Amino acid sequence: MPRMTKQQKIEARAKRMNMLRKALAIVTKGVCPACGTKLYRNNSMSGWWQCGHVGAEGFQREAGPHCHFSFFYDPTPEEHSELLAEKREPEATVQAYRVTTKIPYHNYVKTFTDLGEMQAWVYHGTGVTLPTTPEAAFLGKHKTPRNEGEVIVEAVRQ
Ligand SMILES: [Zn+2]
């Protein structure tokens, strides 16, 4: 496999965190998004969750119409605590994040609702690596690597 660039790594990580975020939301609800049946862990593989209606007749956790829904929620301990920290933030009041870049060759104001997308855009345009969580770590001013300017991240709330 070819070595990934730093930006590719950031994007791959943002993608994975997004996937885990969606899976955690389903795990938290505890019901199959396809048919509404309770979800169960399949302990034959770590992090494997299945709808109670998965399986052939007689082998389902709950008897009923067949359903195929199964997914994985298998974060590392670090990823898991990062996701839990996100959940504690007052997400409902944050509408978006506004990024202002004040660098001689890069002066933009751009608004993001997706943190991973914001992180990738900032890194690509300015070389600044923004942490994605906690909020306190990415809000505020960030100096560029060679000190020629700064990136300012503000929360847009209502
Ligand atoms: Zn189902």
Q: Is the peptide bond before 77 cis (omega within 30 degrees of 0)?
A: no
Ligand 1: distance of its center to the CA of 29 in Å? 13
**Token pair of 67, please?**
């359903």
CA of 19 to the centre of ligand 1 (A): 19
Is 146 within a domain?
Answer: yes
Task: Identify whether residues 12 and 75 lie together within a single domain.
Answer: yes
**What residue numbers bound the domain in which 130 lies?**
91-157
Ligand 1 center from residue 42 Cα (angstroms): 14
Quote the ligand 1 centre to 67 CA distance (angstroms).
5
Output the CA 39–ligand 1 centroid distance in Å.
8
Q: Within this chain, do residues 70 and 15 fall inside the same structural domain, yes or no?
A: yes
Q: How far is the CA of 85 from the centre of ligand 1 (A)?
A: 29
Strand partners, 100: 109, 152
106 and 77, same structural domain? no
Last residue of a domain, which of 67, 88, 109?
A: 88
How wide is the angle at C-alpha 117 spanned by C-alphas 34 and 125, nearest 5°?
165
Pair (112, 64) in one structural domain: no
pLDDT at position 127, please?
Answer: 92
Same-domain pairing of 56 and 119: no
- Reply yes or no on whether the pLDDT at 43 is more than 80: yes
Q: Please check whether residue 1 lies inside any domain of the structure.
A: no
Q: At residue 157, does pLDDT exceed 80?
A: no
State yes or no: pLDDT of 93 exceeds 80.
no
The phi and psi torsions of 70 (rounded to 5 degrees) equal -150, 155
Cα 97 to middle of ligand 1, angstroms: 36
Q: Is residue 141 part of a domain?
A: yes
Domain identity same for 76 and 100: no
Q: Return d(Cα 131, Cα 80) in angstroms, integer.
A: 16
Q: Give the model's confidence band at 84: pLDDT under 50 very low, under 70 low, under 90 confident, else very high.
A: confident
CA 48 to ligand 1 center in whole angstroms: 14
**pLDDT, position 156:** 86
In angstroms, what is the span from residue 79 Cα to ligand 1's centroid? 27
- Within this chain, do residues 21 and 74 fall inside the same structural domain, yes or no? yes
Report how far ligand 1's centroid is from the alpha carbon of 41 (Å).
13
Specify the number of domains making up the chain.
2
Distance of CA 41 to CAs 27, 29, 54, Å? Answer: 10, 14, 11
In this structure, is residue 25 part of a structural domain? Answer: yes
